[in-house]
Structure 1
Amino acid sequence: MRRRQRGVRGLLGAVLLAGTVAGCGSGAAPGGGGGASDDGGVVSVGAQGSGCALPMTFEAEKRWTRKSVMPTYQPSKPWPFSVVCQIDAGGGAKDTPQLTVYLADRPLDGGPTDMMDDFRGAGMSNHGEYESEEQVSQVNVGFSSAVEVTYKLSPPDDQKPWKVTLLLVLTPKGPMVLEVQGPGNQGPALKAYQRAKSTLQQVPS
């Protein structure tokens, strides 16, 4: 297992975000939210009125719950991203992770790989200490440059390791990140992730 300068942002972030989402959520939009298009049980997420306003749109199944989250923009906070949307594809099961969407809340330097390092907390002293089997891919999605990262996270408290899947894509409003991570059955969230990745499009200006 690699023990280089990589932080446990994924591990600790899951705990911190749980409180953020609980305190800042602006309500869930189960299937058929306003502004969604009906195409065989599929809705478009991202446009105004779709349950989550984002700089890019993507498809989701109607039955999946969409919850927007009010970003807490704090110029002094060290981590330059805020969670803005969550997709629950697991029917609310407690042991099923969600697809989480983040936006950068300040300008970032460099390309997608540099911005992904910012997302993952590359400046932390223990960055990557509990990570292994990392794979990084340069991809194009929605006519935009993107980077996809997967790795295994092995918590220090004897929990069963889990996979982390990240996609950072450049948008007119800065980098946007899709994330699936956490213990339990990741199948539903990964299905939502793959659907979003394959259907990402810029929101018309």
Structure 2
Amino acid sequence: MRGAGRGAVRGTAAVAAAALLAGCGLGTEPAGTKTEAAPGSAATRSPAAPSPAVSPSPAASASPAAKGGTVGAAGSACPLPVPVTFDTAADWEPKKVKPITDPDLEELNELLEQGTLTLGCEIDAKPAGYIGFLKVWTDDAKDTTPRAALESFVAGDDSPAKAVYRDVRVGKDGALAATEVTYLVTSALLDEQKKARALAVMTPRGPLVLELGGMDTEEHEAMLPAYELAKATLAVTAN
């Protein structure tokens, strides 16, 4: 069953992330250097600040970010198994996700599957000053719907709550029908609820789910412009 043992694996990953945050930090700069964080990012907030009450937002209110590149097509930084392309925000770094082959780390492959979907691409916000990813998940099921794909995806997440689904139009001039969900998950790293959102579209080769995460709710909301850019530029390119 997909997702079995996922909570334990996420817990292990959270401990590793905590060690990284407490130790050498997230960047690769040598000691004594400093990276300027984007306004509103986790790095600029006081760790003592109390977390506000969290509820899923009905819709994003951010304007799309400036374009940095395009992913999805063959030859791009993240070629996808479904015929979809979209633009990525400036300074965000896309990377194709591959299964882990190291025997000591193979259990982390649990994190590459959620519901019926498999992770194929991660677009890292860290170079832009944020802590989080825009992730692309796909499935080869052609007899499903965007709503069904999202329901499976949400059910496979950690302690999902208060999911709100809505039908939307995405892409240039709203050319594509899609379903979007906003919901809450419990962060294993911070031991608190945070916002999550995802969007699903159908292609001739199966569904694609675009997920926006973030270390916490404030980080998630600060990264919404990149998500809105991807939504606005989604295109199904071929059969």
Q: How does 1:73-88 map to 2 (within 5 A)?
A: 79-88=115-124
Structure 2 CA distance for aligned equivalents of residues 107 and 16 of structure 1: 31
1:180 maps to: 212
Unaligned runs of 5+ in 1: 1-6, 20-39
Change (3 A) 1:159 1:8: farther
Shift of 1:169: 0.8
RMSD: 3.7
1:113 maps to: 147
1:43 maps to: 69
Q: Deviations over 1:143-179 (max 9, x none)?
A: 3321100012235887121001010111122100011
Q: Which has the larger radius of gyration?
A: 2
2:235 maps to: 201
Shift of 1:116: 1.6
8 Å CA contact 2:116, 2:149 repeated in 1: no
Change (3 A) 1:92 1:204: same
1:68 maps to: 96
Of 226, 230, 234, which residue of structure 2 is paired with 1:192? 226
Unaligned runs of 5+ in 2: 17-65, 101-108
Q: Count how many residue pairs are aligned between Structure 1 and Structure 2.
A: 169
8 Å CA contact 1:87, 1:98 repeated in 2: yes
Q: TM-score, normalised by structure 2?
A: 0.57
Deviates more, 1:153-162 or 1:183-192: 153-162
Q: TM-score, normalised by structure 1?
A: 0.65
Structure 2 CA distance for aligned equivalents of residues 151 and 9 of structure 1: 22
Question: Which amino acid in structure 1 is aligned with residue 95 of structure 2?
Answer: K
Q: Secondary structure of the residue that 1:154 maps to in structure 2? A: strand
Shift of 1:42: 3.1
Q: Deviations over 1:44-91 (max 9, x none)?
A: 22112220113211112342111011369x9xx894211111111232
